[in-house]
Amino acid sequence: MSAVEALDELIEQLDGTDVSAVEGDSPKPAADAIDRVLGSQPRTTNVRSLKGDETIEAFRRELVDGLIRVDTAGRALRLLSQVVGAVLAGRA
């Protein structure tokens, strides 16, 4: 697998993450401070796709142009992909 393919696979894996899966069931009526916080409006996270991101595209161009060692980038991306996969599997 090339480093560019590893980058594409990692981005696809991150884009496929269901952020709503971490939300729990609706809380019971508030009885203490923790229950009041849990019963408040859910917190939101600004999640965005990395596809087309300026930084990712710059990384891809430098990788393709040979400004970054392909073997080093490939190993790093595959390792990052394994870590992200393990974290996401643990949340399911």
> What share of the chain has pLDDT > 90, as a percent?
0
Q: What's the structural domain count of the chain? A: 1
pLDDT, mean over the chain? 77
Q: What pTM was estimated for this model as a whole?
A: 0.47
Instruction: State the CB neighbour count (10 A cutoff) for residue 63.
Output: 20
7: exposed, middle or buried (Cβ count in 10 Å: 0-12, 13-18, 19+):
buried
pLDDT tens digits along 18-31: 555 444 555 455 47
Range of the domain at 19: 3-91
Instruction: State the CB neighbour count (10 A cutoff) for residue 68.
Output: 17
